[in-house]
Amino acid sequence: MAYGTVGGVAAFAQMWTVGGAWVDPATGPPVVEGTNPTLTQVTAWLVEISAMMDLALSNAGFVVPVTVSAAVGAITPYVQALVADLCHAANSSGRFFTERIIERGMSPMIIVQQNINGWVEDNTQGLMNLGVPYVGTDRPITAFSVPPKRQL
């Protein structure tokens, strides 16, 4: 199950669409030039990012996929915005196309996963309050963060 739609992604990345729609290329007739990214790619990213969200939610102890409408209403625009970030990156723009990220060779998908993990952590109590089924986790929390090395 994907959280969101290609139309929802287009709302965040309209400049890369044709009239607000993602298009796959066609050899014709008529010949159709596809968008960058294509409809197929945006659809795949929605599924992939939704799976990453489900993984993070499951790791936090939630039953997935989330079906509580209020929670889905919070998750959906977040997933769509993350996919829109990938659309911008496909066009050499946006937050994944900064000098710092390029120089460090950081993968957009790793950054997205970190963002999702942070979102789930920040919203765990709210999701429980909304009634998202929670089964907990039987593993100890062992995560920690290490501050990046300072540039001297």
- pLDDT, tens digit, 9 for 90 and up, residues 9-53: 999 999 999 999 999 999 888 889 999 999 999 999 999 999 999
80, 4 in Cβ contact below 8 A? Answer: yes
Say what the pLDDT of residue 149 is.
64
Measured at the CA of 62, the angle between CA 60 and CA 67, to 5 degrees, comes to 140
What are the tens digits of pLDDT across the range 53-72? 999 999 999 999 999 999 99
53, 117 in Cβ contact below 8 A? Answer: no
